[in-house]
Amino acid sequence: MPLLYPVLLAGGSGTRLWPLSRKSYPKQFSRLTGDETLFQSSVRRFKAPGYAPPLVLTNEDFRFIVIEQLAASHTDASGILIEPEGRNTAPAILAAAIWLLARDPDAVMIVAPSDHVIPDDTEFRAAIDAALPRALAGDLLTFGIRPDRPETGYGYLELASPDACNASEPQPLTRFVEKPDLAAAETLLAAGNVLWNAGIFLFTARAILEAFRAHAPELIPPVEAAVADAKDDLGFSRLAADPWSQVDDISVDYAIMERAKNLRVMPYSGAWSDLGGWQAVWQESEADETGTALSGEAYAIDCRDTLLRSETPGLRLVGIGLDDIVAVAMHDAVLVARKSQSQRVREAVDLLKAEGAAQATTFPRDHRPWGWFESLIVGQRFQVKRIHVKPGAALSLQSHHHRSEHWIVVEGTAKVTIDDEVKLVTENQSVYLPLGAVHRMENPGKVPMVLIEVQTGVYLGEDDIIRYEDVYSRT
């Protein structure tokens, strides 16, 4: 039996769960419904006999987050492909197929977004097993979810009859239905012969490549060139930027699935959610008898059908007399909305972008390959940061044009380089870095190192960095 390769799409940067999900740190890497992130749950879902380690597609900004979360899941990857820029799902899936065929001509691909909730891994893998014979026969399989409400946020798959939607084996597709308005969604639900389009696919790498040759041949040359000229670096494969920039931005549904004659639908009746908004998060959360769900240091008094989340330790969120409300509090941004209106959160992001607010896109904790930092206080000519450096990690050897820095170690030990001097700085000790000094900090210990950094200067932007050496190959 050929190996099944999970192909996890982890490059998206949606904002429907703002302020927790932002462009710099999207929802797939967040803990929304349990102790694992959505990405880690997706990895675990496919850790079973017959499955290869996952092939992950992501982008430059998230590559080290992927590595860190794979390590926390005790999982190696078959590969990590870095897309130079987002080009939608069709080019990403084609690149994965070409990459896999070069390594395993019999590879079977189970393509899945990494931000879905599927609580029952065993049941979902059973659906894959039921669909596998058709995939091995050369068909393309898409998974359809039995709907339980007239949802306007999903596309639909129409089958021949309600019985087909309840089948335990793949079924022919009658037609795709675009995301409907509420009245159309109610009509579809009443008809009983539709499934939600989950955006999860199963096929052999050979079959999907043949489908691209038949229906989207123009995508193949630039994607082949991007894969062929990919550069391996620190465990990643960076797809070549020049040919990738010539690839059309198109979804696999439009490019292939809506045109393919060998498409089949595998019905899935188990629980599933793409967590497409805060109402979906509320539905997946553990609520009390009043329908109120709490997360973090959040409290409710006389609330109903409400979601309260405090995402910052020490930030107490209290709701009183609320009904149909979502409140999500972080130390730099707070969202309060009617649950029934929470799909409009994109309007909030657009508003903040127009104001030039960093909160629109930038997560307060900035994740880097060596750890993370967060700004505690920002003034006109100063900034205070908390910096967390992982054991054995090191920042780049760098200097700044416009700022000087004080470092105060509060946990662990730092190995500090300032020009030609190298010294150890332990807890409760500090060091001064003059403007223009070439410097680096490292954590030589076995525990995380935390320091407080005080910056002073006329410009404090993150782009005021000249890197001389960097173990993470950043420019």
* CATH number of the domain encompassing residue 175: 3.90.550.10
The neighbour count for residue 111, using CB atoms within 10 Å, is 24
* Shared domain check, 59 and 39: yes
Tell whether 288 is covered by a domain: yes
pLDDT of residue 34: 81
pLDDT of residue 261: 94
Tell whether 91 is covered by a domain: yes
- Residue 455: closest CA among 392, 353, 363, 381: 381
- What pLDDT digit, counting tens, does each position of 178-216 carry? 999 999 999 999 999 999 999 999 999 999 999 999 999
* Shared domain check, 335 and 396: no
* Shared domain check, 383 and 411: yes
The neighbour count for residue 162, using CB atoms within 10 Å, is 11
pLDDT of residue 343: 86
* Shared domain check, 313 and 262: no
Note the Cα 283 to chain centre separation in Å. Answer: 20
* Shared domain check, 334 and 455: no
Phi and psi, residue 467, nearest 5°: -95, 135
* Shared domain check, 377 and 350: no
Tens digit of pLDDT per residue, the chain (475 long)? 789 999 999 988 778 899 999 988 899 998 988 889 999 999 999 999 999 999 999 998 898 899 999 999 999 999 999 999 999 999 999 999 999 999 999 999 999 999 999 999 999 999 999 999 999 999 999 999 999 899 888 899 999 999 999 999 999 999 999 999 999 999 999 999 999 999 999 999 999 999 999 999 999 999 999 999 999 987 899 999 999 999 999 999 999 999 999 999 999 999 999 988 999 999 999 999 999 999 999 999 999 999 999 999 999 999 999 999 999 999 899 999 999 898 899 999 999 999 999 899 988 888 888 999 998 998 989 999 999 999 999 999 999 999 999 999 999 999 999 999 999 999 999 999 999 999 999 999 999 999 999 999 999 988 899 999 887 776 5
H or E element: which one contains 210?
helix 205-215
pLDDT of residue 475: 58
Q: Which of 354, 381, 415 is the last residue of a domain?
A: 354
Tell whether 87 is covered by a domain: yes
Structure tokens at 375: 């700004």
Domain holding 392, by residue range, is 365-469
Tell whether 359 is covered by a domain: no
Phi and psi, residue 400, nearest 5°: -130, 145
Q: Which of 354, 373, 394 is the last residue of a domain?
A: 354
Distances (CA, A) of 404 to 233, 294, 436: 32, 42, 8
Range list of H helices, 16-148: 38-45, 63-72, 89-101, 121-136
Spatial distance between the Cα atoms of 19 and 311, rounded to a whole number of angstroms: 10
* CATH number of the domain within which 453 lies: 2.60.120.10
106 residue type, one letter: D
463 residue type, one letter: D
Cα radius of gyration rounded to whole Å, the chain: 24
Residues 269 and 198: beta-carbon distance below 8 Å = no
Its pTM stands at 0.89
359 secondary structure, DSSP code? G
* Shared domain check, 201 and 346: no
- Residue 277: closest CA among 363, 425, 153, 125: 153
- Residue 326: closest CA among 307, 345, 305: 307
* Shared domain check, 216 and 152: yes
pLDDT of residue 20: 93
Tell whether 100 is covered by a domain: yes
444 upstream amide cis, omega within 30 of 0? no
Structure tokens at 444: 């030589």
The neighbour count for residue 165, using CB atoms within 10 Å, is 23
Q: Which of 305, 320, 354 is the last residue of a domain?
A: 354
* Shared domain check, 293 and 255: no
* Shared domain check, 142 and 66: yes
Tell whether 324 is covered by a domain: yes
Structure tokens at 276: 């497409």
* Shared domain check, 175 and 72: yes
H or E element: which one contains 199?
strand 194-204
Residues 36 and 29: beta-carbon distance below 8 Å = no
Spatial distance between the Cα atoms of 36 and 117, rounded to a whole number of angstroms: 11
437 residue type, one letter: A
pLDDT of residue 1: 77
pLDDT of residue 33: 85
Q: How many domains does the chain have?
A: 3
Q: What is the dihedral of CA 254, 259, 260, 265, to 10 degrees?
A: 60
**DSSP line for 115-172:** T-B-S-HHHHHHHHHHHHHHHHTT-EEEEEEPPSS--SSS-EEE-S-HHHHT-SS-EE
Tell whether 360 is covered by a domain: no
* Shared domain check, 288 and 236: no
Spatial distance between the Cα atoms of 354 and 244, rounded to a whole number of angstroms: 30
Map tokens 């004080």 to a residue: 406
Map tokens 């006109």 to a residue: 380
- What pLDDT digit, counting tens, does each position of 359-378 carry? 999 888 888 889 999 989 98
Tell whether 475 is covered by a domain: no
